[in-house]
């Protein structure tokens, strides 16, 4: 039996974060009469229940809970594939399934566009089943919409709402400052220091030696170029979180922020972003702050995943080793960067404007209201 006003969130990352967090917060902010259930990984021993608003019910995503909540909730919101569908559940026509996904596609290829090795086949079969149930897929740009229309095994409505998680970059200055202060207090960073965040994506090999970087040398270059003292944060992709202890050995002087739930808050607090192929770079540059690409394995990664747009056509300087990254920082041209970035964002057709969460919640409101009237 359906719970008319219940929304279940199926989260791909650990903790209260990503698009689902900001949609849930908007529901709570508007004081809507919905029951919110958050399914979290049953293997997650680190979940901090205190970071979740009291209005959200937490439930482990074991088979029983997955079936019970997904099959009986009026609205499903997910940022990953709901693989449960394959074995247990056939979505009802009276349910609304919104897929937010968890990253832009301006860099690496995804889903149907990846070279289909044997390890991917099982996933892709589940992906096709999942896509057959989706009612709306959200994207942050026209470019994403074009790619998702062909790579996601999906031919339903695609809504260019922007990403709810990026609303944070459009908050009022007071609200943003409170979040920045929280991040700084959490990691003991004084207000007079600037922050560089290094957040590489995962590799199938899970070899973190690819990420080696002298954080002190990079901070020295940043200080020489931009002034002030700098601190260096490192954040591993969730798929290689098992390597966090090794990370501490590679970056002994860095602050490991891999277990901080919401990377958007880290991005808001950071002054410079360094990465390789992660889609988080597109979230970060909505603030128009400097970002650099540091990628030591471009040829290998191109073979492994490939790109929608060649790296050299991106609006970022590209370094393949540490010395090149220092040079990229030293010779960073702010006016040229801002122009190139603005041109590229225009090419992508970016729609993020701080109102994505509102748009998604209005979609949910309208659906529930119409369905309840019919009943």
Spell out the long-range contacts of 311-314 with Cβ–Cβ below 8 A and sequence spacing 24 or more: 314/106, 314/107, 314/344
Across-strand partners of 307?
A: 108
Give the model's pLDDT for residue 375: 53
- Output the tens digit of pLDDT for each of the chain's 375 residues: 667 799 999 988 889 999 999 999 999 999 999 999 999 876 676 678 899 999 999 998 887 888 889 889 999 999 999 875 555 567 888 899 999 999 998 788 889 888 666 677 778 888 998 999 999 999 999 999 999 999 999 999 999 999 999 999 999 999 999 999 999 999 999 999 999 999 988 777 767 777 889 999 999 999 999 999 999 999 987 666 666 667 667 787 899 998 899 999 999 999 999 999 889 999 999 999 999 999 999 988 888 888 999 888 999 999 999 999 999 999 999 999 999 999 999 999 999 999 999 999 999 999 998 876 555
> If you classify domain 3-163+353-374 with CATH, what class do you get?
alpha beta
Give the model's pLDDT for residue 252: 78
Q: How far out from the chain centre does Cα 48 lie? A: 19
Q: What is the pTM of this model?
A: 0.94
Q: For the chain, which residues make up each domain, given as ranges?
A: 3-163+353-374, 172-348
Neighbour tally for 209: CB within 10 Å: 9
Q: How far out from the chain centre does Cα 146 lie? A: 19
Give the model's pLDDT for residue 87: 58
Q: How far out from the chain centre does Cα 313 lie? A: 23
Q: Do domains 3-163+353-374 and 172-348 have the same CATH topology?
A: yes
DSSP per-residue string spanning 298-323? HHHHHHHT-BSS-GGGSSS-EESSHH
Give the model's pLDDT for residue 214: 93
DSSP per-residue string spanning 151-207? HSS--S-EE----GGGGGGGS-HHHHHHHHHHHHHHHT--TTEEEEEE-----TT--
Considering the domain delimited by 172-348, tell me its CATH architecture: 3-Layer(aba) Sandwich (3.40)
Across-strand partners of 38?
A: 9, 58
Give the model's pLDDT for residue 115: 65
Give the model's pLDDT for residue 88: 54
SS3 of residue 241 by DSSP? helix
Across-strand partners of 99?
A: 78, 137
Give the model's pLDDT for residue 240: 67
């Amino acid at each position: 039996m359906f719970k008319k006003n219940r929304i279940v969130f199926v989260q791909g990352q650990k903790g209260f974060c990503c698009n689902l967090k900001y949609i849930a917060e908007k529901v709570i902010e508007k004081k809507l009469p919905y029951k919110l259930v958050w399914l979290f990984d049953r293997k997650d021993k680190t979940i901090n229940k205190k970071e979740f608003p009291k209005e959200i019910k937490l439930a482990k995503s074991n088979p029983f809970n997955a079936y019970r909540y997904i099959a009986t909730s009026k609205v499903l919101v997910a940022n990953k594939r709901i693989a449960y569908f394959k074995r247990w559940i056939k979505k009802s026509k009276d349910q609304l399934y919104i897929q937010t996904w968890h990253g832009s596609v301006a860099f690496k290829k995804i889903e149907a566009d990846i070279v289909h090795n044997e390890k991917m086949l099982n996933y892709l079969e589940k992906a096709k089943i999942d896509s057959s149930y989706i009612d709306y897929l959200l994207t942050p740009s026209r470019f994403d919409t074009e790619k998702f229309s062909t790579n996601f095994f999906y031919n339903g409505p695609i809504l260019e709402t922007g990403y709810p998680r990026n609303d944070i970059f459009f908050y009022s200055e007071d609200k943003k400052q409170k979040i920045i202060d929280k991040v700084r207090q959490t990691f003991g960073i004084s207000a007079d220091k600037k922050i560089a965040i290094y957040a590489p994506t995962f590799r199938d090999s899970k070899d973190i030696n690819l990420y080696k970087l002298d954080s002190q040398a990079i901070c020295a270059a940043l200080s020489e170029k931009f002034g002030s003292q700098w601190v260096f944060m490192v954040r591993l992709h969730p798929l290689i979180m098992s390597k966090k202890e090794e990370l501490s050995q590679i970056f002994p002087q860095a602050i490991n922020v891999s277990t901080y739930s919401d990377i958007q808050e880290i991005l808001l607090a950071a002054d410079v972003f360094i990465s390789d192929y992660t889609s988080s770079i597109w979230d970060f540059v909505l603030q128009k702050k400097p970002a650099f690409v540091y990628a030591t394995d471009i040829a290998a990664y191109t073979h492994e995943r490939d790109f929608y747009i060649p790296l050299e056509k991106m609006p970022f300087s590209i370094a393949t080793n540490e010395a090149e990254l220092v040079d990229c920082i030293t010779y960073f041209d702010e006016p040229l960067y801002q122009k190139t970035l603005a041109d590229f964002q225009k090419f992508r057709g970016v729609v993020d404007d701080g109102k994505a969460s509102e748009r998604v919640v209005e979609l949910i409101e309208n659906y529930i209201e119409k369905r309840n009237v019919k009943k």
